[in-house]
Amino acid sequence: MIVGLDMGGTNVDAVLIHQGKIIETSKIPTDHSNLLESIWGALKPLLSGQDPAKIERMILSTTISTNAIIEQKTDPVGMIIESGPGLQKDFLSCGRENIFIGGYIDHRGREVSPIDKSEIEKAAKTLKGKNISAVAVAGKFSVRNADHEIRINELLKDEFFPITLGHTVSGKLNFPRRVFTSYYNSAVYTTFLKFSESIYKALQREKINAPVSVLKADGGTMSLKAGERYPVNTILSGPAASVMGGQAFLETSKDAIFLDIGGTTTDISFLADGVPLLEPLGIKIGEFPTLVRSLYSVSIGVGGDSSVCVKNNKIVIGPKRLGRPQAFDGPCPTPTDAMIVLGLISCGNKSKALSAMKEIGEQLNLCPEAAASAILDTMAEMIKNKAEELLHEINSHPVYTVKELLYGKKIKPGLIQVIGGPAKAMAPILEKSFGIPCRYPKVYEAANAVGAALARTTAEITMFIDTAQRTLAVPEMGLYEKISKDYTLEEARLKAIDLLKQQSSLLGAEKGEIQAEIVEENSFNIVRGFYTSGKNIRIRAQIKPGLIYGLWGDKNVSG
C-alpha cells in the first residue's frame, strides 16, 4: 500500500492506494497553527484498520517550508557573499546580516583572487555578535570551482548551523538565484528539521516502517532525510501534486494543456510529449527567484467561486473570490451559480442561483440561462487567452544553436486535461473555446494526494568538464575531480548517467524506477593561439518527473 498526502492552504488530502486502486481517501481542513496535527488528522481515518506493516511507502507534499517563508517565520540567516566584479551587489542582501567578502573565481573556474581568512573570521565574529546561527555562503561562479565555499565552510562549521553552500543547491549558472536559494535553504532548515523529526517520532508510534519521502516542486520525490538537508526543494510542491495527480488519471504522450480549476484560481501547466514542463531555472517565492527546480505552473484569478459582475456591458470574472456562490448564500453571482442554472452540476439552492443569473442577465438584456452560458463562455475564453499567451512565451524561449532555431521543439497542444470541482461542467465549453478535445477524470478525488503518492524520485545534475585544466565538476554532488586530458564526450555522458543514478539513490529512488536521460550536451573546442588546447564539455542529466504507475483505464476518463 502507498500513502499519499497533500497539505494545501485550505485542506489536507490523503489517499491510500493498493495495486493501482484507490482504497481510501480522507480530507480535513488545514490547521495552520499545527501543521503536524493536520497531517495526522488526515492519516488517522485513512489508516485505521490497516496493517501498518503493509505500507510500502509514504509520500508527503507539505507546505511547511512555504508557510514559514510566506508568514516570515524563518530563522535569521547570516549571508556570506563573494560577489566579485560585475553587477552592483546591494540587491543580493537577503539575509538578516549580509557580509560581502573579497575573492573571485572566473567563468572557467580559475581562482582570480583568493579569499582572505581574516575577513571570514571577522564575519564570524559579527554573526556571533548578532546571535545568528544559520549561515549561507555563495560565490560567483562557485559551481565552476567550489574551493572558496568549501574553505569558508571549514572555517565556520564548528560555530554555525546550518550552513548552506551555494554550489550544492544547483549546478546552474545564476549567481543571484544561488544567493537567494542558499538563503531560503538555511532560513527554513530548522523548521523543516523539527517537522521531519516529529514525523519520524509519529511513525515510530504508529509502527510504520515504510520509507517516507517528500514531494518537490518539480513533481518528483526525495527521501525525508534528503529533505532535511535541502528543505528549500519542498517549497511550492502543491501545484506539482495536482499536475502529477492529473497524470495519474489522464495519461497522454502528447503535448497538452493541463488545467486545475479551483474555487479562486485556475492553475495552467503544460505537457510536452506527455511530460510536465519545468521552469527553465526555478521557482520564485516571496520576493526572490530561486534555482529550485519546479513544474511550470501559472495561476490566474478565475475559478468556480470568482465574483461575476457586468462592467460596460461586458461580463467581468474575478480576479477576487468574495465568498461562496450565491446558491450557497454567498455575496455575489459566480460561475458556479451559472453551472447550477444550466444543470451542469447539482448542488446548492437552485433558485438562489437563478436569481444571481437573473441579476446578470438583466444588465445584458439576456434571460438567466443565456447569461449563465455567457459567463461560462467568458470564463473559458479568459483561460484560453492566458494559456495562449503563456504558450507563445514558452515557444519563444531563447535558443542558442542554428539547429534549435530552425527545427527546435515547439509545444502544440492537441489536448486539454482538466481537473478540479468545475472540470466536468467546463470541459465541453473549454473544448469549444480551444477547438481541441478536453478530457477530465470521472473520479478525481484527492488527485493531488494521488499525485504525491505515485510520483517518482527526480534528480538533476550538471556536469562541467574542462580538459585543458583537467577538471570535472558536478556541483550538486560536491564532486570536483581531476580527469585525463583526452576525456571524451562519450565518457562524460556515461559518467553523468552513472552519477545521476547515484544521486537519485541518495535521494531515495528505488533501482527499478530510475530512468536517467541526458537533456543537454555541448562540447566546445578550446582554441588558444590557433591550436586546440582542450575541450569544454557541458552536460545536464535528469530523471524527469513521472509516475511509478497510473490509475488509467477507460472508465476513469471522459471528454
Is the CB of 311 or the CB of 403 nearer to other proteins? 403
**Phi and psi of 134, rounded to 5°?**
-85, 135
Is the CB of 34 or the CB of 522 nearer to other proteins? 522
DSSP code, position 8: -
The answer to whether 410 and 272 are in contact (CB under 8 A) is: no
Q: How far is the CB of 164 from other proteins (least distance, A)?
A: 18
Is the CB of 31 or the CB of 393 nearer to other proteins? 393
Is the CB of 205 or the CB of 403 nearer to other proteins? 403
Is the CB of 170 or the CB of 265 nearer to other proteins? 170
C-alpha cell at 200: 519520524
Cβ-based burial of 542 (10 A; exposed 0-12, middle 13-18, buried ≥19): buried
Q: How far is the CB of 296 from other proteins (least distance, A)?
A: 16
DSSP H/E element including 229: helix 224-229
Kindly report the three-state secondary structure assignment for every residue of 68-102: HHHCCCCCCEEEEEECCCCCCCHHHCCCCEEEEEC
Q: How far is the CB of 377 from other proteins (least distance, A)?
A: 31
Q: Which residues pair with 464 in a beta bridge?
A: 473, 538
Q: How far is the CB of 525 from other proteins (least distance, A)?
A: 6
Is the CB of 353 or the CB of 391 nearer to other proteins? 391
Q: How far is the CB of 231 from other proteins (least distance, A)?
A: 23
DSSP readout, 18-44? ETTEEEEEEEEE--TT-HHHHHHHHHH
Is the CB of 531 or the CB of 555 nearer to other proteins? 531
Q: How far is the CB of 183 from other proteins (least distance, A)?
A: 14
Q: How far is the CB of 545 from other proteins (least distance, A)?
A: 23
C-alpha cell at 447: 488527485
Q: How far is the CB of 242 from other proteins (least distance, A)?
A: 27
C-alpha cell at 188: 527554513
Report the C-alpha gap between 8 and 63 in whole angstroms. 7
Q: How far is the CB of 181 from other proteins (least distance, A)?
A: 12
CA distances from 156 to 59, 117, 187 (A): 34, 11, 17
Report the C-alpha gap between 344 and 515 in whole angstroms. 42
Is the CB of 260 or the CB of 460 nearer to other proteins? 460
Is the CB of 116 or the CB of 498 nearer to other proteins? 116
Q: How far is the CB of 516 from other proteins (least distance, A)?
A: 24
Residues binding other proteins (CB under 8 A): 85-89, 91, 104, 106-108, 112-113, 140-141, 172-177, 281, 287-289, 396, 398-403, 405-406, 522, 524-527, 529-532, 536
Antiparallel, parallel or unpaired: β 266-272 and 298-300: antiparallel
The answer to whether 231 and 184 are in contact (CB under 8 A) is: no
Is the CB of 363 or the CB of 525 nearer to other proteins? 525
Report the C-alpha gap between 218 and 457 in whole angstroms. 10
Helix 350-364 / helix 368-395 crossing angle, nearest 10 deg: 80
The answer to whether 108 and 144 are in contact (CB under 8 A) is: yes
Q: How far is the CB of 172 from other proteins (least distance, A)?
A: 8
Report the C-alpha gap between 419 and 304 in whole angstroms. 12
Is the CB of 94 or the CB of 379 nearer to other proteins? 94
Region class of 236: left (phi > 0), else alpha (psi between -120 and 50), else beta: left
Q: How far is the CB of 338 from other proteins (least distance, A)?
A: 37
Is the CB of 276 or the CB of 534 nearer to other proteins? 534
Kindly report the three-state secondary structure assignment for every residue of 346-407: CCCCHHHHHHHHHHHHHHHCCCHHHHHHHHHHHHHHHHHHHHHHHHHHHHCCCCCCHHHHHH
